Amino acid sequence: MKTIFALAFASTLLCCTARPETGSDTPVLSAALADSLPQGNPNPYYSRTDTTHLQVSNAEWKKVLPPDVYEVARNKDTERAFTGKYWDFTGVGIYYCAVCGNKLFTSDLKYASECGWPSFFEVERKNAVRYEHDTSYGMQRVEVLCGRCDSHLGHLFDDGPPPTGKRYCMNSNVLEFVPKIGLSSKQ
């Protein structure tokens, strides 16, 4: 585990040559899924329209989230670099919080940082996320949390591309991408 973390951290420090993405990949979610949530979703807190701040215990989240999502979102785990489903994904659409459905990023805010995690230079709107000072593992970092459900999403770094110079370094498994073509007119 120490080795994995060391590699992940090294990648974080070494990465980030910004280059624009093409937006040509095949969407990963079907239109049916995009339109159906939360129908058929075992997570009763998920909503792409309700922005009410959630106060849900970890015990409750553990009942409704997949284990890998829970570990990142609620235990602040980090997925291994170059293993997540979105680190080099270039589909055109919207990224929601996989825990609560909060709208976080659009694909035009994503860039190829080459750090091994999906990276964005800006959030979709100011209150989409909130920030905390993170001193874990002997580092000084800015943690990024979902503005609606307070789940851990990743960290914010100052080595991103213009115009912000920021890199929102996210974990793929707490993001849910919905392709533009799959979004209903109500969303």
If binding is defined by CB under 5 A, does position 129 make contact with Fe ion?
no
Tell me if residue 158 falls in helix, strand or coil: coil
146 is catalytic: no
Among the listed residues 109, 95, 117, 103, the one whose alpha carbon sits nearest the alpha carbon of residue 175: 95
If binding is defined by CB under 5 A, does position 156 make contact with Fe ion?
no
Please give the Cα distance from 82 to 114 (Å, whole number).
9
Strands (E), the chain: 93-97, 103-106, 110-111, 119-120, 129-134, 141-146, 152-157, 167-170, 175-179
Q: Quick one: 8 or 97, whose CB is closer to Fe ion?
A: 97
Q: Quick one: 38 or 114, whose CB is closer to Fe ion?
A: 38
CB of 78 to Fe ion, least distance (A): 17
Q: Quick one: 115 or 149, whose CB is closer to Fe ion?
A: 149
Tell me if residue 33 falls in helix, strand or coil: helix
Tell me if residue 16 falls in helix, strand or coil: coil
If binding is defined by CB under 5 A, does position 146 make contact with Fe ion?
yes
Residues 93-122 that bind Fe ion (CB under 5 A): 97, 99-100, 102
Residues 68-97 that bind Fe ion (CB under 5 A): 97
Q: Where does this chain bind Fe ion (CB under 5 A)?
A: 97, 99-100, 102, 146, 148-149, 151
* Residues with a known catalytic role: 169
